[in-house]
Amino acid sequence: MRFLLLLSFFAPALHAQEIVTLNTRPGVTQPFFIANMGDRKAEAAALLFIGGGGYIGLRMEDGQPKFGAQNFLPRSRAEFIRNGILPVIMDNPSDQQGHEGMNDSFRAGSQHATDIRAVVAEVKRRYPGLPVFLVGTSRSTISVAYLGRAFGDEVAGVVLSSSLFFAGRRSALAGFDFSAIKVPLLFVHHREDVCESTPYTDAARLGEKFPLISVKGGKPPQSGPCEPFAPHGFFGKEPETVDAIAAWMQNKPYRKEID
């Protein structure tokens, strides 16, 4: 597969911070950002997908990479690095960068799987032997659930945080068969998430069958209930939440209750 490297800097190459764009479908490119691990050795890689329409506006400005980093996952990238997890922050493919970004149908479809399968393969090529996880939050849990089902053991595991069980009056992941995901699966949810699309009660029911990290507390909300700076985005509990996710990825004991 041919790829176009847009930026690579900060030696050595193993720890470089990069914006990479892959040609994934005819006339379509898939951009993503690989964070700089500094002196930390990567023990795993995590493809991080934001919620909403998924578009982070990955670009270069004044010689520096820029992107929307308010979402729980990209704003917690330093916490992943601290835990030895290489953050790979996903942007939308070039044909899904309009105002609405990726809709739920695209997230569940084969074109999205084609794009992300290429990214997984590229990360594995660059970091041989490194386990690769898919991590989603809010609306991107639709992506990660369907990708996890489609990819099988091409990835090491799947993490769904603030899972989108409903989209308005329509079921999103409420009726999804999570047992169809054949790799390890982790749910992460805030007990005080009052977003109507992501009720904790649904996560708690799934926690009877699958691993679940339940979070409580944090900072007072500074956004709406379905936005990043609220319990929905683990606001004020980012370090502890990422610590637990990373420990699960590394097969270490992890906190199932964070308060």
> What is the tens place of the pLDDT at every residue in 23-38?
999 999 999 999 999 9
Q: Is the pLDDT of residue 10 over 80?
A: no
150 occurs within a structural domain:
yes
Q: Is the pLDDT of residue 41 over 50?
A: yes
- Element holding 213 (H helix, E strand): strand 212-215
Looking at the chain, the whole-number percentage of residues with pLDDT higher than 90 is: 88
15 occurs within a structural domain:
no
52 occurs within a structural domain:
yes
Q: How many domains does the chain have?
A: 1
Confidence of residue 1 (pLDDT cuts 50, 70, 90): very low
What pLDDT score was predicted for residue 160?
98
29 occurs within a structural domain:
no
> What is the tens place of the pLDDT at every residue in 164-208?
999 988 999 999 999 999 999 999 999 999 999 999 999 999 999
- Across 10-149, where does the E strand assignment appear? 17-25, 28-34, 44-49, 59-61, 64-66, 85-90, 132-137
What pLDDT score was predicted for residue 74?
95
Q: Is the pLDDT of residue 61 over 50?
A: yes
Q: Which phi and psi (to 5°) does residue 215 adopt? A: -115, 145
What pLDDT score was predicted for residue 235?
98
> What is the tens place of the pLDDT at every residue in 85-117?
999 999 999 999 988 899 999 999 999 999 999
> CA-CA distance, 156 to 241, in Å (whole number)?
20
Name the residue range of residue 174's domain: 38-258
218 occurs within a structural domain:
yes
Structure pTM?
A: 0.92
What pLDDT score was predicted for residue 15?
53
In 3-state terms, the chain is what percent helix, strand and coil (to 5)?
A: 30, 25, 45
161 occurs within a structural domain:
yes
Please, how many CA atoms are within 13 Å of residue 251, restricted to the half-sphere of its CB?
5
Q: Is the pLDDT of residue 13 over 60?
A: no
Mean pLDDT of the chain: 93
Q: How far is CA 117 from the centre of its chain?
A: 14
What pLDDT score was predicted for residue 225?
97
What pLDDT score was predicted for residue 4?
36
> What is the tens place of the pLDDT at every residue in 158-168?
999 999 999 98
CATH number reported for the structural domain that contains residue 221 in this entry:
3.40.50.1820
209 occurs within a structural domain:
yes
61 occurs within a structural domain:
yes
The neighbouring-strand residues paired with 185 are 158
Other beta carbons within 10 angstroms of residue 25's beta carbon come to 15
Q: Is the pLDDT of residue 149 over 90?
A: yes
> CA-CA distance, 216 to 259, in Å (whole number)?
5
